[in-house]
Amino acid sequence: MVAQQSTEKIQKGRYRHYKGGEYFVIDQATHSETGERFVVYRALYGDQGLWIRPYTMFFETVVINGQAVPRFAWLGDETSDSSTTLGRLDQ
């Protein structure tokens, strides 16, 4: 049975992972069999790999040194990003 989808849209743009890496959220996707929501994002470093992560995990809080922090922190939207970064997203 496919899970019911939320109508909440993901905020596209640049995010920082709690370990320091920066990523660009491209969109969200839905698993064809389970209906689970995923975040589709690209690393802004190294080989600029394309990744997916369950929506709930992407936006969960993690505890680091006794302090709760977001797994990914919002940095800015597409318009605040450089044109070189945006150009890499569709390669």
Give the C-alpha distances (Å, rounded to integers) separating 59 from 12, 46, 84, 87, 89: 13, 23, 26, 26, 22
Query: 21 is in which domain, residue-wise?
Result: 13-76
Could you tell me if residue 71 is inside a domain?
A: yes
Could you tell me if residue 65 is inside a domain?
A: yes
Could you tell me if residue 38 is inside a domain?
A: yes
> For the segment 10-66, what is each residue's pLDDT rounded down to a tens digit?
899 999 999 999 999 999 999 999 999 999 999 999 999 999 999 999 999 999 999
**What pLDDT is stored for residue 4 in this prediction?**
45
**What pLDDT is stored for residue 79 in this prediction?**
56
Could you tell me if residue 5 is inside a domain?
A: no
Q: How much is the pTM?
A: 0.76
Over range 62-81, report the average pLDDT: 87
